[in-house]
A and B are shown apart, each in its own frame.
Chain A
Amino acid sequence: MGDFILQRASSYAGDIDNLILLITVLVGVWFFLVEGMFFYLLWKFRAKDGQKGQYITGKEKHLKRWINIPHGIVLACDVVIIVFAINVWYNVKQSLPDAESTIRVIGQQWAWIFQQPGADNTLDTDDDIFTTDDLYVSNETTYHFHLVSRDVIHDFSVPVFRLKQDAIPGRSITGWFRPTQTGTFDVQCAEMCGIGHGVMSGRIHVQTAAEHSAWVAANSPAAGE
């Protein structure tokens, strides 16, 4: 369903969509059940001529059932959500699969700077490629990213990857992604970061391995200069 609303283009986008779908279904079912029961009772026990209202303490067993049974089932639903959420959180945020390449993402008011390795595939060497607002990556490749900020708090968000991570000044936060579809997708800042926040957008270009190798060769300073 998530793919129908917004394309998925990373290995974990489906896991996040499924978690949101699970939460939506479990919470949605209860929402309609409770609201349905609420309005049904309002209608059933509406004011009638010659009938007085009763004061109910709710202490009797047959009345407490109406609270206790749904309460227990809701708690069980919570446990299901928590188990699935922890599983997804662990896979996306806590575990770090081996990287095939590592990049640095730098947030600043109001642009994204990307530093990625040149032909040597090693970050922080002379042939690193720096770009502003455009990140070029290879499809079906696992990337680690080191996310930093030059000034204020930003948030590196790639909606089609279902990736969203705060960038905190003074910290380097490591995360990962693995693109699964070629194409050009939006990068945005998802944290209010000043007057130009609204125009702090970029693009991620997911290329085939051959296209990406050609791009690296053409843009690597060692090769081009």
Chain B
Amino acid sequence: MTFVRTIQQTVAATIVVGVVACDSAPTPGLARGEEVFDTCAPCHGTDGAGNYELLAPAIAGLPAWYITSQLEKYQNGQRGSSPFDTVGIRMKSMSLALDVDGDLESVAEYVSGLPGIDAPASLHDGDANAGQQAYALCAACHGANGEGNEALNAPPLMGQYDWYLMRQLKKFKTGSRGSATGDIGGAIMRPNAMTMDDATMANVVAYIEAMQ
């Protein structure tokens, strides 16, 4: 009988511990961010350096406010909802995996702490000198050195791949990014991208790349 009682008590204790463990929400912070980053790493890499094969941009070292704002946009459908934004749709689905309170901020904190990368140039058809002039339009929000501006929700452009910048400019122009209702930042960016033809985009991207 004693043996049976011991087994019963052990099972009951295990269930109680299990329920308590399942019930307790993880503590937000860097450690949790690192844990949550396992969801991002398959595409963005364990160092957040991105992966061209998957068209995943570099995210290492991006400011936490920008990462949080973009994840929120993905989650509420302001980004990644256009049927023509194939890569954005993929990211939107992944953002939905961050469904625990505080996870968004935790992973943003972790990613922003990763060392930024030197993104090598891969596009060579732009003229950086010509791009400098066109960049004046971008500098108003993104800064003269592409350092970004939190007050304007404009991300830094440094440390980002040229192929990614090019794709985003084209997305803004066609409306597969920035045209969703409520995407204020996108609504500001779109008209600017619409003023550029492909050659101007290539020049601007070449200039940003040359600044790195």
Contacts and interface: CB of A to CB of B under 8 A. Distances in A.
Interface of A: 106, 108-111, 113-115, 130-132, 150, 195-196, 199-200
6 contacts: A106-B83, A109-B93, A110-B93, A111-B90, A111-B93, A196-B90
Nearest to A200: B93
Given A195-B42, A196-B97, A199-B97, A109 B90 contact: yes
A140 B89 CA distance: 31
| Most chain B CB neighbours (cut-off 10 Å) among A115, A130, A132 | A132
The interface size bin for chain B is: 10 to 19
Contacts of B81: 132
A130 B89 CA distance: 14
Contact of B83 (A110, A130, A195, A196): A130
A110 B87 CA distance: 10
Contacts of B97: 196, 199
Interface string B128-169: 000000000000000000000000000000000000000000
A195 B94 contact: yes
**8 closest Cβ contacts across the A-B interface?**
A110-B93, A130-B83, A196-B93, A113-B83, A111-B89, A199-B93, A199-B96, A132-B83
A115 B96 CA distance: 24
Contacts, number: 38
Contacts of A109: 89-90, 93
Contacts of A108: 86, 89-90
Interface in B42-82: 42, 81-82
A200 B89 CA distance: 10
Taking chain A's interface residues, is the majority helix, strand, or loop, or is none over half, making it mixed? strand
B87 to A, nearest CB: 10
A131 B93 CA distance: 15
Contacts of B83: 106, 113-115, 130-132
B103 to A, nearest CB: 15
B92 interface: yes
A110 B96 CA distance: 11
A108 to B, nearest CB: 6
Contacts of B89: 108-111, 113, 132
A218 to B, nearest CB: 15
A199 B91 CA distance: 11
